[in-house]
Amino acid sequence: MTWFARYTTALVPFLARILICAIFVQGALGKIFGWSSQIAYMQSRGIAFTGPLLAAALVIESVGVLCLLTGFAARPAAAIMFAYLVAVSVLLHPFWSAPPSSAGMLQTHFLKNMGIAGGLLMVAAFGPGRWKLPPDAA
C-alpha cells in the first residue's frame, strides 16, 4: 500500500466522523443555551417528560460526539446515536402528517437526519477507522 493510500484510508473516516459530529455539537449547544425553548418545542409535539428526555438527549449527543471524535467506543456510541436520531426524527419531524405549509421543511429535516443516521450506521457497522483511541497495536 502506498503512503498516499495509507494516509487517505486513515484520514477519510476521521474527517467523516468530524462532519457527522458537527450537527450534534450544534444540537448540544442549542440544548444548553436554549433549554426552555427546546422544552417548549418538544411539548408542542405532544412529548411528555420533556425535562428528563432532553437531559438524556444532551448526554447522548455530548458523550456520543466525544466517542466519535476520539474513536473510543465509537461503534456502540454510533449505534446509540443512530437509534436516538431515528426516534427524534420520527417524533419531531413527521412530515407525512404535517399540513402542506410545513411538510416541506419537516421532510428536509427528516431526510437530513436519515443521511446522518446512515453515516452513524456505517461507523457502528465498520468502526471508526485507523485514527482512534486507543490506537491499534502495531
pLDDT at 79 (0 to 100) = 98
Q: pLDDT tens digits for 7-22?
A: 788 899 999 999 999 9
- Average pLDDT across the chain, whole number: 94
Q: Is 138 within a domain?
A: no
Cell numbers placing 15: 474527517
* Mean pLDDT (whole number) for 72-87: 98
Report how far apart, in Å, the C-alpha atoms of 138 and of each of 5, 67, 129, 130, 133 are.
18, 22, 15, 11, 14
| Residues 110, 52 contacting (CB under 8 angstroms) | no
Q: Is 137 within a domain?
A: no
Domain that holds residue 42: 10-125
Q: Is 130 within a domain?
A: no
Half-sphere exposure of 122 (CA within 13 A, CB side): 12
Q: pLDDT tens digits for 37-60?
A: 999 999 998 999 999 999 999 999
Half-sphere exposure of 31 (CA within 13 A, CB side): 20
**pLDDT at residue 135 greater than cutoff 80:** no
Please state the domain count of the chain.
1
pTM score, two decimals?
0.91
